[in-house]
Amino acid sequence: MKIDNAVPRLVSAAILLVLSLASVPVHAQDKPYTEGSVWNISMIRVKPGMFDVYMREVLPMRKKINEEAKKQGLLVSSHILSGNALGRDDWDVMFMDEYKNWAAFDGISAKYDAMMSKIVGSEDKQVQVMMKRTEVREILGNKTMQEIVIK
């Protein structure tokens, strides 16, 4: 009689164990956020006294490129932040380009290369533009990060 009672208890315990283990992934997936847009961020240090010179050079071209990228559905939005650098190794301009998701980066280099050729010109012309910018600014870093949206 004890054996007959033990079997249902063992089966009940096994079912309870399976159900409790099955619920673990559900709790692990219940994150307090959702994954949002992906941002490409560039941190720039403009040389002293050269802010307006740099902006006059970079903004008209960025505007054309960003408008074309939006038209092609590549770019969601673009923002520029400006502030005081806290030291010689700190940035004072941040360019923030928003993309829908990580998949938006598939084949993006070829698409931007084509845009640059159309807007700026030949590869030699693009190199000249970039060399001119090095006279007034330094790129301190680039990051690509995903926005986290709180639920």
Which domain does 99 fall in, by range? 33-150
Mean pLDDT of 76-105: 96
Q: Are residues 47 and 58 in the same domain?
A: yes
Share of the chain above pLDDT 90, in %: 78
Q: Are residues 63 and 90 in the same domain?
A: yes
Q: Are residues 74 and 6 in the same domain?
A: no
Among 132, 126, 127, residue whose Cα is nearest residue 47: 132
Q: Are residues 71 and 112 in the same domain?
A: yes
Q: Are residues 19 and 37 in the same domain?
A: no
Q: Are residues 91 and 119 in the same domain?
A: yes
Instruction: Check residue 112 and give left, alpha or beta (phi > 0: left; psi -120 to 50: alpha).
Output: alpha
Q: Are residues 42 and 104 in the same domain?
A: yes
| Per-residue pLDDT tens digits for 23-75 | 555 555 799 999 999 999 999 999 999 999 999 999 999 999 999 999 999 99
Residue 79: CB atoms within 10 Å = 11
Report residue 15 as tokens: 């079912």
- Strands 33-46, 137-150: pairing kind: antiparallel
Spatial distance between the Cα atoms of 41 and 64, rounded to a whole number of angstroms: 18
Q: Are residues 66 and 136 in the same domain?
A: yes
Residue 120: CB atoms within 10 Å = 17
* Structure-model confidence comparison of residues 77 and 12, the more confident one: 77
Angle at 136 between CA 108 and CA 42, to 5 degrees: 35
Q: Are residues 24 and 42 in the same domain?
A: no
pLDDT band at 121 (very low <50, low <70, confident <90, very high): very high
How many distinct structural domains can be found in the chain?
A: 2
Residue 44: CB atoms within 10 Å = 22
pTM of the model: 0.77
